[in-house]
Amino acid sequence: MSNELKLSKKSQEFLENLRVYLFSSGKRWDEIEGIVNELEIHLSEAEKNGKPIEKVIGKSPKEYMEMISNEMIIDYRTWFKYICLIIFGALFINILPDLLEGNLSYSVLEIVGYIVITITFIASVFTGFKYISKSNQSIKIQGLILFTIALLPMLLFSGLIFLNRSINTPIIYLGNTGSIIIAIIAALFIIGMSLWAKTWLLIIVVTMLTLPNYLLNLTSLEYETQLILNSIITFGGIGIYLWIMFKLEKNK
């Protein structure tokens, strides 16, 4: 925005919370921006005239957010699209390294577990965000909630690996042709998604996750050295990319 409005910290916080709350309630992005901008103008004019924020949003920000949310329609189609993108995007990112090592084979438990964990993760992210934006918790508790949400899929995936070892379910084995078809679909999906979202992020992440590992395997370095180098290049590379993007965004 070219014309930044002067706003008190309390008002800014409220607007941020409102945005997150409406977003995690599944409202349409442009409608959210519309109402947030409108309230931003209102709050800044009210502050200029010496009115406290309570005069605008009432005593309970939570109730006010709900009031607004109730008047906005839920955009199920976009949300379905996003959720599909997250599930398949993460799935293909997981599959690619396996593909480079050879043909694909997964147990039924792994496949079902993967889908269940992803859905659980998405649901927990939305519930968590909604809760944080609505309730006035301290930064510490907010951090703790986000940390738990981030930890949840890791714990569940560890559980799944353990379970997969102790319970035998039928294994779906994809031969050469099958693996190649999946690889092509995955590549097309990632390229398509990058074009749609106009970002290099996915391509960079996928390259960083697979290419160093693949190239290092070709060298005669020791296995431990390979592992260490691999993680440094992967996370360093993604980190540098995000840092550059952040700088570019800031200079806009």
Partner 1 sequence: MSTTQMLKGIIDGCLLAIIKDTEVYGYEMAEKLGSYGFHSFSEGTIYPLLLRMQKEELVTSTLKKSTAGPRRKYYSLTPKGELELNKFIERWNNLQSNVNKVLDCESDTEYTKGDEIIE
Footprint of partner 1 (CB under 8 A): 1, 3-5, 34-35, 37-42, 44-46, 51, 54-58, 64, 67-68, 70-73
Q: Between residues 18 and 190, which has the closer beta carbon with respect to partner 1?
A: 18
Q: Is 174 exposed, middle or buried (0-12, 13-18, 19+ CB in 10 A)?
A: middle
CB of 46 to partner 1, least distance (A): 7
Asked if 102 and 175 touch (Cβ cutoff 8 Å), the reply is no
Nearer to partner 1, 1 or 195 (CB): 1
In the complex, least distance from residue 72 CB atom to partner 1, rounded to whole angstroms: 6
CB of 54 to partner 1, least distance (A): 7
Smallest gap from Cβ 82 to partner 1, in A, equals 23
Nearer to partner 1, 44 or 226 (CB): 44
Q: How long is the chain? A: 252
Instruction: Name the residue nearer to partner 1 (CB basis): 14 or 92.
Output: 14
Tell the smallest beta-carbon distance from residue 55 to partner 1 (Å).
Answer: 6
135 by DSSP, 3-state: which?
Answer: coil
Provide CB contacts within 8 A for 214, sequence distance 6+. 100
- Closer residue to partner 1, CB minimum distance, 29 or 162: 29
Residue 136 Cβ, how far from partner 1 at the closest point, in Å? 18
- Say if CB 145 and CB 196 are below 8 A apart: no
Task: Pick the closer one to partner 1 by CB: 8 or 199.
Answer: 8
Task: State the alpha helices, DSSP H only, in the chain.
Answer: 9-24, 29-48, 53-57, 61-70, 76-101, 108-134, 139-166, 176-197, 201-218, 223-251
Q: Which of 30, 25, 236, 252 is nearest to 127 (CA)?
A: 25
- Closer to partner 1 by CB, 71 or 222: give it: 71
Distances (CA, A) of 12 to 57, 92, 136, 159, 186: 13, 38, 14, 41, 41
CB of 132 to partner 1, least distance (A): 21
- What token pair was written down for 251? 């200079």
